[in-house]
A and B are shown apart, each in its own frame.
Chain A
Amino acid sequence: MSRPASQGRLLPYILISPLVVFIGALSFYPTVLSTVQAFFRVTPLDPPTRFNGLENFRDLFASSAVRTSIANTAAYVVIGVVFSVVLGTAIASALQQHFRFRGVVLALVVLPWALPGVVEAVIWNWMYDPNFGVVNSVLRSLHLIGSYQVFLGLSRWLTVALIELSQIWQITPLMALIILAALQSVPRDFYEAAHVDGANRRQSFRYLTLPLIRPALAVSSVEALVLSLNIFDQVYVLNGNATLGSSLMLQTYIVTFQDLNFGQGYALSLVATVATALLSMTVIALLYRRSQA
């Protein structure tokens, strides 16, 4: 059966045509729109929309709630990246060995990553409960606290740390999987050679494993960075609308959908997007350059 040559040449374009809608109209166009509108006054309840230069940015940085959310987000990112990558490496090392039921254990460890973050946050909120929470109960039984404590909403950094802990719990399986894949690609002979040369376990981890899994550490650090910089679900549930533990994403949501100041929302999104891109590139550059040195 012969078909017109033009149909064969058109076929690839027909196959990829849905990209026009899904990537063009619903990804590129919104990104451009968002970037441009960041420099406009956009308040649906009080039109018209007009160009206002850097005014949105000035107003944002003048707001103490925004400044708090930026500092908090920095803390979410530092705590989140450090702990999820270190814990992920530890879990991956433990799961690298062969043992019975390894598949089952792996499936159970991945579970927190597969479940909705907001539902998990509701569970953590109950565990942190000041009146009947299990965290209070355990700490009290261990005599680490004299009486039940209020954990969330009083001290700023304790609130931030405990909220981030619930996110670390969710995202660590991802880091563990990425690092585990890298660990398993290190040939066994390498360890045997190191052992023959008299390296102990710590030395072979430090001088053999670590350099070889550095690309995986870079990838998982970037994943942790983006996830913690975008933290929303856990903050929405565990902090609520308070400024105390607010994150950049929560602040963007409040400015846009509660204050209905879309222009400022766009501007805050732009700041966050640029920060995400710059920080991701910095992490990759740092970890890759050090692997060459």
Chain B
Amino acid sequence: MALAVILLWSLFPLYWALNTSLTTLSAATSRPARYWPSPLVLGSYQQLFGISTSRSGVAYQFGRSLLNATIESGGAMVLSVVAAVFEAYAFARLRFHFKRAIFVSVLATLLLPAYATLIPLYRIMSNVHLVNTYIGVILVYTSGFLPLAIWVLFNYFNNVPPELEEAALVDGTSPVGALLRVIVPVALPGIAATAIIVFLLGWAQFLFPLVLTSDLSTQPVTVIVAALNGQRIVPLTLLMAAGTLAAAVPGVIALVLNRHIIQGVTAGAVK
């Protein structure tokens, strides 16, 4: 019983978007509401994918914004994870000056709210002409997600027994070689968890891309869905189909790879 209530609470809004997206506008706007899609039509999705005859501007905007979101979140994911693997290794295994001070200051940025950096980052990006570019968005995302990635990977690397790489180091492998050939394969689940978390965080961004992108060449799907909602001329069924698809990408990732996410979320949250 308690479980049924929890599942209803967690899933109803998502079901409602799907329900609206799968029916006709007149059925979606009937009173009282229809709790299942009847009639069941796929018109909104056909229109979004440009299959139907009425190939609208919405279809083009939506498709392009999905591509932009993929490039931006994917770029931030690759950059954050690659950088974090090397940095977390340095913090976990190597000795160097000011290590503790540098590590603590990196982690301290985890506590910085978006308030602290939003406006100056816009001005910096605007000064170096990176507003409304993929690179600008990816750099800003990476600066935001890197500390979390370093923290999660640092904990993973600390759990890898040092004997494993010592054997490789004795055999004459360089530290970087030991990292890539010994530690990375063992820590692969942690690296995967970090990559997924960073991708989902990137996909969910709204305020930063709202400020840092200005047209369809870079606007991600979150910005376009909010814009379609604001225009009030896009049919609700089409809007809900767009919302469902924008949520389906991270939704499917979260369902399929939920073990990694739960690990990563708890590792990142319980500092």
| A interface residues (Cβ-Cβ under 8 A, vs B) | 1, 3, 8-9, 11-13, 15-16, 18-19, 21-23, 25-31, 33-34, 37, 91, 94-95, 99, 103, 105-120, 122-127, 131-134, 137-138, 140-141, 148, 169, 173-174, 177-178, 181, 216, 219-220, 223, 226, 229-230, 232-233, 236-237, 240, 248-249, 252-253, 256-257, 262, 265-266, 268-269, 272-273, 276-277, 280
Contacts and interface: CB of A to CB of B under 8 A. Distances in A.
Contact of A249 (B29, B115, B255): B115
A249 B42 CA distance: 38
Q: Closest 10 A-B residue pairs measured CB to CB?
A: A30-B120, A26-B143, A114-B254, A12-B96, A137-B33, A107-B258, A15-B90, A116-B204, A118-B206, A12-B94
B53 interface: no
28 contacts: A15-B86, A18-B83, A22-B139, A23-B146, A34-B119, A34-B120, A94-B2, A105-B3, A108-B10, A111-B10, A111-B11, A112-B14, A114-B250, A116-B204, A122-B229, A123-B13, A123-B16, A123-B17, A126-B17, A126-B240, A132-B30, A132-B31, A138-B33, A181-B270, A219-B270, A223-B269, A249-B115, A266-B120
Given A94-B3, A94-B6, A118-B222, A106 B239 contact: no
Contact of B94 (A11, A29, A226): A11
Interface stretch (B43-51, B158-166, B170-178, B182-190): B170-178
B149 to A, nearest CB: 10
Contacts of A29: 120, 124
Given A123-B17, A249-B114, A27 B29 contact: no
A110 B258 contact: yes
B271 A219 contact: yes
A277 B127 CA distance: 29
Interface of B: 2-3, 6-7, 9-11, 13-14, 16-17, 20, 28-33, 83, 86-87, 89-91, 94-96, 99, 102, 105-106, 109, 111-124, 139-140, 142-143, 146-147, 172, 174-176, 200, 203-207, 210-211, 221-222, 225-226, 229-230, 236, 239-240, 243, 246-247, 250-251, 253-255, 258-259, 261-262, 265-266, 269-271
Given A223-B269, A233-B206, A236-B206, 19 more contacts: A11-B94, A12-B94, A23-B146, A33-B120, A103-B259, A105-B3, A111-B14, A114-B253, A116-B205, A119-B246, A122-B239, A126-B239, A141-B32, A177-B262, A177-B265, A178-B270, A220-B269, A236-B210, A262-B119
Contacts of B250: 114-116
A111 B236 CA distance: 23
A273 B116 contact: yes
The DSSP consensus for interface residues of chain A is: helix
A264 B251 CA distance: 38
B69 to A, nearest CB: 9
A174 to B, nearest CB: 7
A116 B102 contact: no
Nearest to A216: B270
Contact of B115 (A120, A177, A178, A276): A276
The DSSP consensus for interface residues of chain B is: helix
Contacts of B246: 116, 119
A248 B118 CA distance: 13
A252 to B, nearest CB: 7
A132 B118 contact: no
A169 B114 contact: no
A248 B236 CA distance: 30
Contacts of A9: 96
Given A117-B206, A137-B31, A229-B113, A22 B146 contact: yes
B255 A111 contact: yes
B79 to A, nearest CB: 9
Contact of A140 (B16, B32, B122, B229): B32
Given A114-B250, A123-B14, A181-B266, A237 B119 contact: no
Contacts of B210: 236, 253
A61 B210 CA distance: 26
Given A109-B7, A229-B113, A18 B247 contact: no
A269 B116 contact: yes
Nearest to A226: B113
A257 B211 contact: yes
Contact of B269 (A12, A111, A174, A256): A174
Contacts of B230: 240
Contacts of B96: 9, 12-13, 16
A219 B265 CA distance: 13
B204 to A, nearest CB: 4
Nearest to A141: B32
B32 to A, nearest CB: 4
B243 A134 contact: no
B255 A219 contact: no
Nearest to B197: A114
Contacts of A169: 9, 13
